[in-house]
């Protein structure tokens, strides 16, 4: 990490560029599940039962608009739609993996106290 730079602003902060992606309450969880496997909407919905379909749809569209995930529609009846990580989303995998490690260590430390 660089030394403190008091001239740095929000606009020059590299984290501000991805804040809109990771900001949503469920975006990181969705990326985590999609890092494990390609999923259909219903499968994602079952993994996130506390998220309304409208909110899940909104979060998926946001992640798709930021090119983190892809939505693939298969021309069949009934329609089949799958979600998976894009190459940009796959570049985010090390971040997801480090967050998972931190979360596990954090949970373990909380148990010990």
Whether the Cβ atoms of residue 26 and residue 51 lie closer than 8 Å to each other? yes
Encoded tokens for 65: 């608009």
Q: Tokens 């994602």, residue?
A: 44
Encoded tokens for 97: 């993996």
Q: What is the mean pLDDT of residues 69-82?
A: 93
pLDDT tens-digit map of 29-65: 999 999 999 999 999 999 999 999 999 999 999 999 9
CATH assignment of 19-112, among 1.20.59.10, 3.40.50.1860, 2.60.40.1930, 1.10.10.10: 1.10.10.10
* More confident of the two residues 40 and 112: 40
Q: How many CA atoms lie within 13 A of 70 on its CB side?
A: 11
Residue 30 parent element (H or E): helix 27-36
- Does pTM top 0.85 for this prediction? no
Distance CA 76, CA 18 (A): 35
Residue 58 parent element (H or E): helix 53-65
């Amino acid at each position: 990490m660089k030394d403190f730079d008091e001239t740095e602003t929000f606009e020059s902060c590299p984290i501000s560029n991805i804040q809109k992606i990771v900001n949503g309450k469920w975006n990181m969880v969705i990326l985590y599940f999609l890092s494990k496997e390609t999923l259909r909407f219903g499968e994602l919905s079952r993994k996130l039962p506390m998220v309304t379909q409208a909110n899940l749809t909104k979060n998926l569209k946001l992640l798709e608009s930021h090119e983190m995930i892809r939505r693939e529609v298969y021309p069949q009846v009934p329609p089949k739609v799958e979600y998976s990580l894009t190459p940009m989303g796959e570049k985010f995998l090390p971040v997801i993996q480090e967050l998972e490690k931190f979360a596990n260590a954090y949970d373990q430390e909380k148990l010990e106290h």
